[in-house]
Amino acid sequence: MTLPAALRTSAASRYPLSRATTFRIGGPAALAVRPRTSDEVALALHVARTEGWTVRCVGMGSNLLVDDHGVDGLVLLMRGLRRIEFEGASVTCGAGVTNNQVLQATRARGLGGLECLVGYPGTLGGAVRMNAGGAPGYVGARVQWVKGIEPSGRVVYRDARDCGFRYRGSALSDLVVTEVRLLLPPADPEEYALRCASLRDRKKATQPLHLPSAGCVWKNPPGHPAAGRLVEEAGCKGLRAGGAEVSTLHANFIVNRGDATCADVLSLMEEVRSRVADRSGVLLEREVIHWHDAAVAV
């Protein structure tokens, strides 16, 4: 079919999704579109509904593993939604604004409370959908509302209380998130910068941020030691499958040593999960999202 003129200049067929993920792994998207506004997102979704296409969205792909064969349907490359607008202690951001851009812009305005985003190499839209965070807190606690588009094409605003924020998740999976509004506390820019720098340095010292990965592979199981500790105790640090390796620095990371495939990563994940289950009786739950068209059990 012929795409509407508003989408044609930002569309690409057989787009290599390895370019759209921090893992640097994955085959092509049948069709990719990089919308620049919420209206362009809505238009792309309308076309997809008309054609019966599957729709997927990606920001920086920082928790994403794409199948070696790629995926059918339409992939929306959300990095084009870059608006940042302040109103007092609130800031409205497009879903494609990176976490680092949000941190820098809000710090310059004397606003804080986003230590939870330090060291997350993703976009705000993705961070909100997965409720990114950890010891410093979770981003969902700073959300006022989320704007998104339902599969039907209806534009909706959801207050934070209706977003269903939880550990490593939310109730936003039915939406294409286009904007997020945050309410932030005041912070001294210099003190806040020092706190963020300290958190960033700690992550650099304990996580393999110099190698391609998708961040933490496994969710921390409730009532048990952290997933990374379970993986390490099962003797999996340094375990390899092809070009994929369980990091020797942090066992909850699988890194791409340069030529890893999706098949390598899936094989390694299955071996790790089996070893952890045999040793501790805990069946780890994957945190990384796996895009594929065929049913693959992992």
CATH code of the domain containing 20? 3.30.43.10
Q: CA-to-CA distance for 30 and 38, rounded, in angstroms?
A: 22
In a shared domain, residues 67 and 89: no
Q: Which of 216, 232, 236, 245 is catalytic?
A: 216
Q: Within a domain: residue 91? A: yes
Among 48, 64, 80, which residue terminates a domain?
80
Cβ contacts of 28 within 8 Å, gap of 6 or more: 14, 15, 16, 17, 70
Q: Exactly one of 40, 115, 232, 287 is catalytic; which is it?
A: 287
Looking at the domain assignment, is residue 259 inside a domain?
yes
Same domain, 94 and 184: yes
Alpha helices in the chain (DSSP H): 5-8, 38-51, 99-108, 124-129, 189-206, 227-233, 262-280
- Residue that is last in its domain, among 50, 80, 110: 80
| Mean pLDDT within 127-135 | 91
Note the pLDDT of residue 28: 98
CATH number at residue 94: 3.30.465.10
Same domain, residue pair 97 and 186: yes
Which residue is catalytic, options 83, 168, 279, 286?
168
What burial letters (b/e) apply to 106-115, b meaning 16+ CB within 10 Å? bbebebbbbb
Do 90 and 184 fall within a single domain?
Answer: yes
Q: Both tokens of residue 294?
A: 């065929």
In a domain, 152, yes or no: yes
* 216 assigned to active site: yes
Question: Same structural domain for residues 173 and 89?
Answer: yes
Beta strand pairing call for 90-94 and 137-138: unpaired
287 in active site: yes
pLDDT for 1: 59
Q: Within this chain, do residues 182 and 273 fall inside the same structural domain, yes or no?
A: no
Q: How far apart are CA 59 and CA 42, in angstroms?
A: 17
The yes-or-no verdict on residue 298 having pLDDT over 60 is: no
109 token code pair: 């305005």
Cα 202 to Cα 197: distance, rounded to the nearest angstrom: 9
Q: Indicate whether 167 and 107 sit together in one domain.
A: yes
Identify whether residues 135 and 215 lie together within a single domain. no
In a domain, 113, yes or no: yes
On whether both 71 and 89 belong to a single domain, the answer is no
> Is position 201 within any domain?
no
Structure tokens at 270: 């299955």
pLDDT at residue 48, rounded to an integer: 94
Specify if 252 maps to a domain: yes
pLDDT tens digits, one per residue of 80-127: 999 999 999 999 999 999 999 999 999 999 999 999 999 889 999 999
Residue bearing the bigger pLDDT, 1 or 11: 11
Active site residue 262: no
Same domain, 174 and 238: no
Residue 296 has pLDDT above 60, yes or no: no
Give the per-residue pLDDT at 129.
95
Question: What are the Cα distances from residue 152, in Å, to 48, 51, 174?
Answer: 11, 14, 10
Domain assignment of residue 199, yes or no: no
Is 63 inside any structural domain? yes
Q: How confident is the model at residue 3 (pLDDT cuts 50, 70, 90)?
A: confident
70 and 160 co-located in one domain:
no
Q: Which of 80, 97, 112 is the last residue of a domain?
A: 80
Together in a domain, 108 and 147? yes
Question: What digits encode the pLDDT tens for the residues 172-215?
Answer: 998 999 999 999 999 999 999 999 999 999 999 999 999 999 99
Give me the domain span that covers residue 30. 5-80
pLDDT at 165: 96
Domain total in the chain: 3
